[in-house]
Amino acid sequence: MTRAGQTIMQRTAMKQTLKHTITLTIAAAILVTSAAAAFTWGGADGWSKQEIDVLSSLRLSQLAPAPQDPSNRYEGMPAAVELGKRLFFDKRFSSNGQVSCASCHDPKQQFQDGRALGLGVGTGARRTMPVVGLAHSPFLFWDGRKDSAWSQALGPLEDAAEHGGNRTAYAHVLQANYRKEYEAVFGPMPDLSRLPRNAGPLGDDRQRAAWNGMDEPARHAVSRVFANMGKAIAAYEKTLQFGESRLDRYLDGVVRRDMNAYQVLSPQEKNGLRIFIGKAQCVTCHNGPLLSDQHFHNTAIPQRSLAKPDLGRRAAIAKVVKDEFNCLGPFSDAGKEDCSELRFIAEEDHSLDAAFKTPSLRNVSLRAPYMHAGQKATLEDVIEHYRTAPAATVGHSELKRIDLSDREARDLVAFLNTLSGPVLEHGPATGN
């Protein structure tokens, strides 16, 4: 072959190579453009616009600040927060000197205790609920028998199975150990020198007799001190907030259209999320940034005792309405107009028989066992309950059978494991 012929062949080969390179470049560009279009119009990982709207609403970054409690004007005071924190961990506020709020609301266990039934000076009837994020709910406890965080804090202190103490005993302990701190927040303490050491309306026979032997001004003064204890504890509890989970990092990336978000969750976890907001309908009740609608539902959870059925919300309505420490009570700092949740509560609602509060699913995989009395040991057990949807033994269940395959159930559990994050303690939003 001549040199000229070789040159022509080389040029032809170069042209073919260049053409092939250009073709590959165009193809790659088309793929990138198609992927970008899919990301833009189909949503990250194939989410539709409607699904992205739902996913966006679940982000912790969308959680509004907890509303101010008009019934507790001290909750934003740093001194109240500090006093409340000390009271929260002080075991002297119990009948045996061995139980504090932190005994059941253990910071090392997501501010709960990991038991099927709460254990104080005795054994309770229900599971300990975490107190993290409680300020976002209008009603507290599994049955909603308290309408504020400070009123909720008072219940266990007088409960025979929890702290087992009484009001005057607590007032004496407070005066002996926290008088300066108390008065810096609430003003002068009353004179307790002539009052019995143990007296209260919910104590044993001797304590109730001693309480009834006190005149009304003395009973009111002690109850005021007791209410202020609850307000200080609530001020501290309000600083406890959930931290970011892997789910939040993924969802924030999806909303920002950040391609790196693909790597945050595994394909199994993403499929579990898809089932959570779709086929399994979990998001119907577990919605919003706290993954709870804050309402009460009968989901046919087995009764611990059919002989003494737990009516849940149905029985609690009368309790919260009559509670001397409710929003409308004499120890509340709220005006009547501030207590609409209580004023317009439905007192005769049989649909709430055996209905219990929807718990937040944040950190749920760290908080076994599950349900209001620990009836389900694992998340797998919980999902199996919802798959089968048994009939309620008390009241009417809201559940309908969900046809999930075993693989889908496993994917749903995998997703629930992405909800874990730290619990953070933030200072009060305002100061006085």
pTM: 0.88
> How far apart are the C-alpha atoms of 274 and 158, rounded to whole Å?
45
376: its two tokens: 């389900």
> How far apart are the C-alpha atoms of 353 and 374, rounded to whole Å?
19
The predicted structure's pLDDT at residue 23: 42
> How far apart are the C-alpha atoms of 379 and 369, rounded to whole Å?
8
Answer whether 360's CB lies under 8 Å from 292's CB.
yes
The predicted structure's pLDDT at residue 43: 57
CA 170 to each of CA 51, 93, 203, 259, 314: distance values in angstroms, whole numbers, following the listed order? 52, 6, 13, 57, 31
DSSP single-letter state for residue 119? B
The predicted structure's pLDDT at residue 428: 57
Name the amino acid, one letter, at 136.
H
Q: How many CB atoms lie within 10 A of CB 420?
A: 18
The predicted structure's pLDDT at residue 44: 58
Number of residues that this document lists for the chain: 432
The predicted structure's pLDDT at residue 226: 98
Q: What is the pLDDT along the chain (432 residues), one digit of tens a residue?
A: 444 444 434 444 444 443 444 344 434 433 443 444 444 434 558 999 999 999 999 999 999 999 999 999 999 999 999 999 999 999 999 999 999 999 999 999 999 999 999 999 999 999 999 999 999 999 999 999 999 999 999 999 999 999 999 999 999 999 999 999 999 999 999 999 999 999 999 989 999 999 999 999 999 999 999 999 999 999 999 999 999 999 999 999 999 988 888 899 999 999 999 999 999 999 999 999 999 999 999 999 999 999 999 999 999 999 999 999 999 999 999 999 999 999 999 887 778 999 999 999 999 999 999 999 999 999 999 999 999 999 999 999 999 999 999 999 999 999 999 999 999 998 654 433
The predicted structure's pLDDT at residue 261: 84
The predicted structure's pLDDT at residue 217: 97
Which residue segments constitute the domains of the chain, with CATH numbers given? 51-65+244-312+353-425 (1.10.760.10), 78-237 (1.10.760.10)
> How far apart are the C-alpha atoms of 421 and 335, rounded to whole Å?
37
DSSP codes of every residue in 348-401: --GGGTTBEE----TTGGGS-SBSTT--B-SHHHHHHHHHH-PPPSSS------
